[in-house]
Amino acid sequence: MSTNALPNKQTKKSNSEPAPVFEFVQSVSKVTAGTVLGITMLTSSLVAGGLVGLAISFRNLPDVRVLKNYTPSETTHIYDIKGRPLASLHDEANREVIPLNQISPDLKRAVLAIEDSNFYNHQGLYPI
């Protein structure tokens, strides 16, 4: 037999030592890549679902441009010739529109406290 046909035991040992380390690094990199890919896909699906949900919720909102020309119906008061009230007629609600400066500051603060208790502490958007 020739010496080339028989494997050299010393050469085989030196070649076999890096293989397990390389296999370990390769398997760790596969697991890491799979985890990163899974997290990325999960995050992107959550963001996409949130955007779709937001779009669906905004779809049914009324157009705010209509509010620019909005005038609420007010109560009509009928007086006699001497200025005494005879009757009050109202359509959908019994209301009278008054200027904001005629409303009590306590009432303004009460409405703000009910609607948004942090009104004076944020810049106009408080999602909680």
The pLDDT, as a whole number, for residue 4 is 55
Residue 126 phi/psi, 5° resolution?
A: -135, 90
Greater confidence, 66 or 14?
Answer: 66
Res. 26: pLDDT tops 70: yes
Greater confidence, 70 or 41?
Answer: 41
Nearest of 99, 91, 100, 98 to residue 73 by alpha carbon: 91
Q: Write down the domain spans for the chain.
A: 7-61
Name the helix (H) or strand (E) containing 18.
helix 18-59
- What SS3 class is residue 113? helix
Distances (CA, A) of 95 to 40, 72, 79, 120: 56, 9, 17, 29
pLDDT tens digits, residue range 42-84?
999 999 999 998 888 888 888 888 888 888 888 888 999 999 9
